[in-house]
Chains A and B, each alone.
Chain A
Amino acid sequence: MKYVDAFRDPAASRAVVSELASLAGKLRESGIRPAIMEVCGTHTMAIARNGIRDVLPPEVSLISGPGCPVCVTEPGYIDAAILAATRATVFTFGDMLNVPGSEDSLATARAAGADVHPCYSPSAALDFARANPARETVFLAIGFETTIAPVAALAAAAENGLPNFSMLTALKLVPPALAALVSDPAVHIDAFLCPAHVSAIIGSDAYAPFAGPGGRPCVIAGFEPLDILYGIRCILAQLADGQAFVENEYARVVKPEGNVKAQNLISRYMEPYDAAWRGIGVIPASGLRLRKQYGAMDAESRFGIRVEPGTPPTGCRCGDVLKGILNPPGCPLFDGRCTPENPVGPCMVSSEGACAAWHSYRRIAPAGKDA
């Protein structure tokens, strides 16, 4: 862990923070108050957990983006997952358990007898399917590119000889979501702090369409506090120079072309489709699903269930939070009707959700800042 400690060094943080202050001073003279979207939910959590907002110059605001896979999953997916759990043993990432569907959550369904197992690794589902050949086993495959790679590996492992294994997929892609955001006139973003792990798969070149003349600075940063601070520093420096290019602060992991082997594995098993994003709507070619020839591994066709959009809860403004139009405390349900114990929307329950981050770490914030 000594390696990681270098990215948490308080003295180094102070040095970057003082650079941020002078860059923000320059921007102030040009009348720029930068709004930076951290696209990825892991960044949202790391920013909150490390108290990053406290050390930023007051005119710099961070806006949480749509990069929380649980948050952008439609309530109808939870309904379908519960239905699947009445016919099969279901494995899921723990985050999904308390996400409200149209009526119930997987946690309440499990308490009533549905066979739902939280897991940290998708391979737990595969191991179970192997050990219990007579039992239908379904993995709830949700996630972005980082998760899609292991899901494709799962498909490769299950392709031959695991007839009792299938997946209910809601896999989503980051670049099409960014394209939708920049074309939405209600959304005001000056720069993107781009994800770390997703970028390791897709590569830094994937952000080129959002940078360049008329575009925005796109800076890829790791998840350590110093990574994030330095990423923000790169963004402010670009803005101060009137530049907008793709900058890779996380070069120790992310390559321009990404992980080609993973990309090839993904495209062997998956094909793009127009996916529905909770609160945002349908975005063209923004999801991946199993190719038709792997239909036997697709829980929807296997069990004859369909993921419908479902009924989003009334009053919940997760969609606006995911687009960066609203900060969590701006939602009328925040911390009132909607808490982590009784979540109304998914952003309050996911460990990468903006509302959960705000609720868990940020209720001390001075009123008004960033809100």
Chain B
Amino acid sequence: MALVQAHCARREGRLKEHGQILLAHGGGGRMSRSLIEAEIAPRFGKGPLKGFPDAASLPDPDGPLVFTTDSFVVQPLEFPGGDIGKLAVHGTVNDICVCGGKPLWLSVGLILEEGLNISLLRRILDSLAAAADECGVTVVTGDTKVVARGQCDGLYINTSGIGRALPGFSLGPEMIRPGDAVLASGPLGDHGMAVLCAREAVLSGTGPMSDTGPVHRLVAAAADMAGAVRFMRDPTRGGVAAVVNEAVHGTPCGVALDEQNIPVSPATRSAAELLGLDILHVASEGRILLFCAPEACDPILTAWKAIPEGRNACRMGTVTADAGSVLLNTLAGGRRLVDMPQGELLPRIC
């Protein structure tokens, strides 16, 4: 029936672009941004949602609260290095962390498809619980719905999280200055490539492993230099390219990245080569990109390298005075633009 409708709709010429939601609107790139700017911002974009931070900062007499929400529709539900349960914790916890918060409480909303295997559900819930323990967050409320077969793809999860702002951080893209260092806490793109390889049955058994993991210890390790940290983000959908472009969008700053210093694991690099993807567009789920004053670069890298999730941290770029321009100094000695990703590069990776 849907096919017949499509055929009819096509004939009536009703399929004009942007008259309907396309998968590309969820890609985390320019089309996602334009959807949010056109439809969400005018309705809700005032108050704490202004500027669309990863988490909202809410006033509280005992110090600001940090609040965020995220939905997870990854397919497959289990992938090398993780599963949707773990991811649902890390995604929300990390959004709180990169806004300078300490995550405390979590809600979990489950939407289950009729026919979902109960042992699979158990594995995912166990994994979710273990991830919450590791991050020091408590699941304090939740909801479970079941929909008929075919109305969702196995299992969707929504998590919301509340944390408390850590003292000393004053973060935002407007704090970034030319000369600032751009750091990555570890190899980039592992999550996106792991999910894609699992889905496409590419490099089975030898492919990349998802980096899904919490960043709370990385943020805590940088807290000694909190006053010199300008901005943090976890490079999820849209990857480094989206984060860095959004960070300098509308500011008088640009960024120059050095291809030589971009950390990429060998398996992820092989997979990206094989599938023809730009690693800068591919998501990570356990990494931070951190902008800091130049004098804070070495102390933060030293502190990061002392903990397992930061052992491959490195400086991969510098903030320039070239407004809005994000460039890559290539290995071949040239330069090229690092553009926002377009279209549906990797749907349903988180």
**Contact surface of A with B, Cβ cutoff 8 Å:** 1, 4, 8-10, 13-14, 17, 42, 48-55, 82-83, 85-87, 94, 97-98, 103-105, 107-115, 118-121, 124, 225-226, 229, 340-342, 351, 359-364
Does B17 sit within 8 A of A, measured CB to CB?
yes
A51-B21 in contact given A97-B344, A340-B343, A360-B339 (Cβ < 8 Å): no
Tell me which of A55, A118, A119 contacts B334 (CB under 8 A). A55
CB 8 Å contact bits of B1-22 with A (1 = contact, 0 = none): 0111111011001111100111
Evaluate contact between B34 and A108: CB separation under 8 angstroms: no
CA A120 – CA B327 in complex, angstroms?
A: 29
CA A8 – CA B266 in complex, angstroms?
A: 14
Q: Residues of A contacting B2 with CB < 8 Å? A: 113, 115
Does B141 sit within 8 A of A, measured CB to CB?
no
Q: Residues of B contacting A54 with CB < 8 Å? A: 333-336
CB 8 Å contact bits of B63-89 with A (1 = contact, 0 = none): 000000000000000000000000000
CA A10 – CA B332 in complex, angstroms?
A: 6
Does B270 sit within 8 A of A, measured CB to CB?
yes
Q: Residues of A contacting B7 with CB < 8 Å? A: 83, 86, 114
CA A110 – CA B20 in complex, angstroms?
A: 11
Evaluate contact between A111 and B31: CB separation under 8 angstroms: no
Does B125 sit within 8 A of A, measured CB to CB?
no
Evaluate contact between B337 and A341: CB separation under 8 angstroms: no
Evaluate contact between A111 and B20: CB separation under 8 angstroms: yes
Distance (whole angstroms) from the CB of A31 to the closest CB of chain B: 27
Of A115, A118, A340, chain B has the most CB atoms within 10 Å of the CB of: A340
Evaluate contact between A112 and B336: CB separation under 8 angstroms: no
Q: How many CB-defined contacts (below 8 Å) exist between A and B?
A: 141
The 3 closest A-B pairs by CB, nearest first: A51-B334, A54-B334, A113-B2
CA A13 – CA B260 in complex, angstroms?
A: 13
Distance (whole angstroms) from the CB of A250 to the closest CB of chain B: 16
CA A85 – CA B275 in complex, angstroms?
A: 25
Evaluate contact between B337 and A364: CB separation under 8 angstroms: yes
Evaluate contact between B17 and A50: CB separation under 8 angstroms: no
Q: Residues of B contacting A14 with CB < 8 Å? A: 333
CA A119 – CA B10 in complex, angstroms?
A: 23
Number of chain B residues close to chain A: CB under 8 A: 47
Does B331 sit within 8 A of A, measured CB to CB?
yes
Does B90 sit within 8 A of A, measured CB to CB?
no
Evaluate contact between A50 and B334: CB separation under 8 angstroms: yes
Of B10, B16, B23, B269, chain A has the most CB atoms within 10 Å of the CB of: B10
Evaluate contact between B331 and A108: CB separation under 8 angstroms: no
A119 — nearest CB in chain B belongs to which residue? B200
Q: Residues of A contacting B22 with CB < 8 Å? A: 107-108, 111
B331 — nearest CB in chain A belongs to which residue? A8
CA A8 – CA B330 in complex, angstroms?
A: 9
Q: Residues of A contacting B344 with CB < 8 Å? A: 94, 97, 107, 118
Evaluate contact between A341 and B31: CB separation under 8 angstroms: yes
User: What would 12 A/B residue contacts be, using CB atoms closer than 8 Å?
Assistant: A17-B333, A49-B330, A51-B333, A52-B332, A53-B334, A87-B3, A107-B24, A112-B9, A225-B330, A225-B332, A364-B327, A364-B336
Tell me which of A10, A108, A120, A362 contacts B275 (CB under 8 A). A120
Evaluate contact between B331 and A341: CB separation under 8 angstroms: no
Q: Residues of B contacting A103 with CB < 8 Å? A: 10, 13, 15
Evaluate contact between A341 and B278: CB separation under 8 angstroms: no
Q: Residues of A contacting B278 with CB < 8 Å? A: 49
Evaluate contact between A51 and B270: CB separation under 8 angstroms: no
CA A104 – CA B22 in complex, angstroms?
A: 13
Evaluate contact between B3 and A115: CB separation under 8 angstroms: yes
B11 — nearest CB in chain A belongs to which residue? A103
A1-B336 in contact given A111-B21, A341-B34 (Cβ < 8 Å): no
CA A113 – CA B337 in complex, angstroms?
A: 36
Q: Residues of A contacting B335 with CB < 8 Å? A: 51, 54, 364
Tell me which of A42, A52, A225, A341 contacts B342 (CB under 8 A). A341
Evaluate contact between B15 and A109: CB separation under 8 angstroms: yes
Distance (whole angstroms) from the CB of A129 to the closest CB of chain B: 16
Kindly list 6 other residue pairs between chains A and B, CB separation below 8 angstroms, not including A13-B333, A50-B332, A114-B10: A1-B273, A51-B328, A52-B332, A97-B343, A112-B9, A341-B31
Distance (whole angstroms) from the CB of A98 to the closest CB of chain B: 6
Evaluate contact between A112 and B20: CB separation under 8 angstroms: yes
CA A54 – CA B344 in complex, angstroms?
A: 30
CA A225 – CA B16 in complex, angstroms?
A: 40
Does B47 sit within 8 A of A, measured CB to CB?
no
Distance (whole angstroms) from the CB of A111 to the closest CB of chain B: 5
Evaluate contact between B260 and A10: CB separation under 8 angstroms: yes
Evaluate contact between B343 and A98: CB separation under 8 angstroms: yes
CB 8 Å contact bits of B312-350 with A (1 = contact, 0 = none): 000000000000010111111111110100111000000
Does B30 sit within 8 A of A, measured CB to CB?
yes
Q: Residues of B contacting A50 with CB < 8 Å? A: 330-332, 334, 336
Evaluate contact between A113 and B333: CB separation under 8 angstroms: no
Q: Residues of B contacting A107 with CB < 8 Å? A: 22-24, 344
A17 — nearest CB in chain B belongs to which residue? B333
A94 — nearest CB in chain B belongs to which residue? B344
Tell me which of B15, B332, B337 contacts A362 (CB under 8 A). B337
Tell me which of B3, B20, B270, B276 contacts A1 (CB under 8 A). B270
A127 — nearest CB in chain B belongs to which residue? B201
CA A136 – CA B7 in complex, angstroms?
A: 16
Distance (whole angstroms) from the CB of B212 to the closest CB of chain A: 22
Q: Residues of A contacting B225 with CB < 8 Å? A: none
Distance (whole angstroms) from the CB of B130 to the closest CB of chain A: 33
Does B202 sit within 8 A of A, measured CB to CB?
yes
CA A243 – CA B275 in complex, angstroms?
A: 37
CA A174 – CA B19 in complex, angstroms?
A: 38
Q: Residues of B contacting A55 with CB < 8 Å? A: 332-334
Q: Residues of A contacting B260 with CB < 8 Å? A: 10
B328 — nearest CB in chain A belongs to which residue? A51
CA A46 – CA B328 in complex, angstroms?
A: 14
Q: Residues of B contacting A226 with CB < 8 Å? A: 332
Q: Residues of A contacting B14 with CB < 8 Å? A: 112
Distance (whole angstroms) from the CB of A64 to the closest CB of chain B: 15
CA A17 – CA B23 in complex, angstroms?
A: 42
Evaluate contact between B3 and A361: CB separation under 8 angstroms: no
Q: Residues of A contacting B330 with CB < 8 Å? A: 49-51, 225
CA A17 – CA B31 in complex, angstroms?
A: 38
Tell me which of B23, B31, B331, B343 contacts A10 (CB under 8 A). B331
A86-B6 in contact given A362-B337, A364-B337 (Cβ < 8 Å): yes
Q: Residues of B contacting A87 with CB < 8 Å? A: 3
